[in-house]
A and B are shown apart, each in its own frame.
Chain A
Amino acid sequence: AQSVTQLGSHVSVSEGALVLLRCNYSSSVPPYLFWYVQYPNQGLQLLLKYTSAATLVKGINGFEAEFKKSETSFHLTKPSAHMSDAAEYFCAVSDHLGETSGSRLTFGEGTQLTVNP
Chain B
Amino acid sequence: DAGVIQSPRHEVTEMGQEVTLRCKPISGHNSLFWYRQTMMRGLELLIYFNNNVPIDDSGMPEDRFSAKMPNASFSTLKIQPSEPRDSAVYFCASSLGWVDTEAFFGQGTRLTVV
Q: Do A and B bind each other?
A: yes
Q: Chain A interface (Cβ within 8 Å of chain B)?
A: 32, 34, 36, 42-46, 49, 51, 90, 94-97, 100-107, 109-110
Confirm or deny: B106 has a beta carbon within 8 angstroms of a beta carbon on chain A: yes
Number of A-B contacts defined by CB within 8 Å: 70
Tell me whether A43 and B91 are in contact (CB under 8 A): yes
Q: Chain B interface (Cβ within 8 Å of chain A)?
A: 4, 30-31, 33, 42-43, 45, 48, 50-51, 53, 55-56, 91, 93, 95, 97-108
Closest to B91 in A: A43
Given A34-B102, A49-B102, 18 other A-B contacts at CB below 8 A?
Answer: A32-B99, A43-B93, A44-B43, A44-B91, A46-B102, A94-B100, A95-B99, A96-B99, A100-B51, A101-B55, A101-B56, A102-B30, A102-B55, A103-B31, A103-B101, A107-B42, A110-B42, A110-B43
Q: Would you mind naming 17 contact pairs between A and B with Cβ atoms under 8 Å apart?
A: A42-B107, A42-B108, A43-B106, A44-B43, A44-B105, A45-B105, A90-B43, A94-B100, A96-B99, A100-B51, A102-B50, A103-B31, A103-B98, A104-B33, A104-B56, A106-B45, A109-B43
**A101 to B51 CA separation, bound complex (whole angstroms):** 8
Closest to A46 in B: B102
Partner of B99, one of A94, A106, A110: A94
- Chain B nearest CB, measured from A30 CB (Å): 10
**A100 to B50 CA separation, bound complex (whole angstroms):** 7
B45 contact set on A, CB distance < 8 A:
104, 106-107
A102 contact set on B, CB distance < 8 A:
30-31, 48, 50-51, 55, 95, 97-98
